Amino acid sequence: MEQFRNIGLMGRPGNATVADTLEYLLQFLERRGVKVIVDEDTAVILPRPGLQVCTRGMLGEACDLVIVVGGDGSMLHAARSLARFNKPVLGINRGRLGFLTDISPGEIDSKVAAVLDGDYVIEQRFMLNMEVKSAGNPVGEGIALNDIVLYAGKSVHMIEFELYIEGKFVYRQRSDGLIIATPTGSTAYALSGGGPIMHPRLDAMVLVPMHPHALSSRPIVVDGNSEIKLLMCTEDINPMVSCDAQAGISLHAGDWVYVNKHPYKLRLLHPPGHDFYAACRTKLGWSSQLTNSGE
């Protein structure tokens, strides 16, 4: 197991509960005798002298472990910043569902301590890379841990596009859009769109149509190494494409969107006892009644 001596902290500004948890976590880490480094945004909500501060881009280079305090959105932001450094990331949940940030603030003393003592599980979560080309020229790009979403933008009209997987034409579709999700993102927007829940260890992507005009259109699960291509066909409106609900890129008829696996992965760290199915029961309200031993 890795030794964590230099620990980075990241938190979402503008949230009082995040600030309180960051302060408690900082004191806990100081008692443990580890070196703590915070990024510039987090330093704003931890106004104390003597803190070592660096840019978010440098945090991945300087630290052995980064702890993110916030919701899954905070973890998504951290993933895009930190994945290229191949450093483990641990989440303290101050959001709603918390599939990625799975330690509650009341568990810091026990579960963060266990992690620092070497008792943890680590998962490799792959990410998606997106590139937009217009007339053969790159005009936009992005990285997503959860999903890449094609949508109608400000219009309430359906959009029309063609889908290609591994160079093979799949269909021409009229719908409100398309969600391309990783297993990590299968419990996010794709789930609301009727997509399947995918175990995080799966090497696959799911494509979920959003309110398709043809009722026979259903989610498709494909190999995680597939190249996905979307050709924009709609001429009267300008659809948009977005990575992890970030600012979208405007599209025009004839534009292509390319999606494939990103070369870097997020090393997501879990405390001892983490169970994906238990998380589903808790976060999604599944029944917890046990009727047999499961054997």
The residues annotated as belonging to the active site are 72
Rounded to the nearest 10°, the torsion over CA 194, 200, 203, 209 is 10
Dmax over CA atoms of the chain, in Å, equals: 61
Residue 295 to residues 209, 287, 290, 291, 292: CA-CA distances in angstroms?
A: 37, 18, 12, 11, 8
2: left (phi > 0), else alpha (psi -120 to 50), else beta? beta
- The pair phi, psi for residue 143, each rounded to 5°, is -130, 140
d(Cα 276, Cα 199) in Å, to the nearest integer?
Answer: 8
d(Cα 96, Cα 223) in Å, to the nearest integer?
Answer: 30
For residue 52, the cross-strand partners are 37
Residues 97, 283 contacting (CB under 8 angstroms)? yes
Residues 210, 190 contacting (CB under 8 angstroms)? no
